[in-house]
Amino acid sequence: MAASTDEPSAFHAFERAGWESIPQAYQGAFGTLTTQAVGPLLDAARVGTGVRVLDVATGPGYVAAAAARRGAAVVGVDFSAAMLAEARRHHPEVEFQAGDAEALPFPDATFDAVVMSFGLLHLGRPDQALAEAHRVLRPGGRVGFTVWARPDEAVAFGIVLGAVQRHGRLDVPLPTGPPFFRFSDPAESRRVLVGLGFKEPDVVVVPQIWKLASGDALFEVMRDGTVRTAGLLRAQTPEALQAIRAEIREATLPYRRGGGIELPMPAVLSSAVRP
């Protein structure tokens, strides 16, 4: 979780290897969560019938499939062959292609809308990916992307990172990526979008609730269904990990509802227009 923008290539390779090995665990953990912001994301990018849409970092293809259901002409791209296999298996009606968000395999001005759901925070070069979105959009086209809100609002991250900070180490030897919560800051999103030549930047918060069985389940999905946070947990000593797990269990108690827990996990949704 270190905040540095060097080593983008090492970080890219680390993320790629990570996603290749967790497509099922990711869907089991996050499938009911990231899909809550899909409607607002597609609305922000004005996705409807006949709109040409690119879903970048499509993962299991949730956004691409929802765009197709709206009657859009959509392509989903991802750099993970394992994720693409899952996307194709679940959504055989949708077109998926291998591709890197930082070097999109499409000509200029190909799409009316480019969307990215919880992808930007996984990139070594997020500014480059947004420049690529700008390049493949036609004039008047719209970009839209979601990221997690800051950890004081996206409670699961607050609980897990707080537990690591108190019982383990945040400065573990992993390839350093850009700050995980950089685009959670509306001012930073607007600054980057305008700097890349977009106009009318808009940033809104989309409420989401993560329903899990227990605090132990939260620990396990972070350990098994993520890349950067999983790397952080794997790098702790066994003693620290035990203490982290216990604190997560304890810290989720105030969120008990019915037989499980319900954690607020808002998304920050940014959108803008290519002039």
Ligand X SMILES: C[S@@+](CC[C@H](N)C(=O)[O-])C[C@H]1O[C@@H](n2cnc3c(N)ncnc32)[C@H](O)[C@@H]1O
Please give the residue ranges that form the binding site for ligand X (CB under 6 A).
Answer: 15, 19, 30, 34, 57-59, 62-63, 78-80, 83, 100-102, 117-119, 122-123
Q: Residue 72 or 251: which CB sits closer to ligand X?
A: 72
Instruction: Note the helical H segments in the chain.
Output: 8-20, 23-34, 38-44, 62-69, 81-90, 126-136, 155-167, 186-195, 215-224, 228-234, 238-251
Question: Token pair for residue 80?
Answer: 């993970």
> Minimum distance between the CB of residue 125 and ligand X, rounded to whole angstroms?
8
Q: Residue 133 or 193: which CB sits closer to ligand X?
A: 133
> Minimum distance between the CB of residue 37 and ligand X, rounded to whole angstroms?
8
> Minimum distance between the CB of residue 265 and ligand X, rounded to whole angstroms?
13
- Sequence length of the chain is 275
Q: Residue 64 or 241: which CB sits closer to ligand X?
A: 64
Q: Residue 34 or 236: which CB sits closer to ligand X?
A: 34
Phi, psi dihedral angles at 225 (to 5 degrees):
-120, 15
Question: Token pair for residue 216?
Answer: 């132990």
In angstroms, the CA 115 to CA 53 distance is 7
> Minimum distance between the CB of residue 52 and ligand X, rounded to whole angstroms?
18
In angstroms, the CA 133 to CA 272 distance is 11
Of 51, 120, 62, 76, the closest CA to residue 267 belongs to: 120
Residue reference for tokens 């609980």: 159
> Minimum distance between the CB of residue 51 and ligand X, rounded to whole angstroms?
18
Residue nearest to ligand X (CB): 59
Q: Residue 103 or 204: which CB sits closer to ligand X?
A: 103
Q: Residue 58 or 236: which CB sits closer to ligand X?
A: 58
> Minimum distance between the CB of residue 186 and ligand X, rounded to whole angstroms?
20
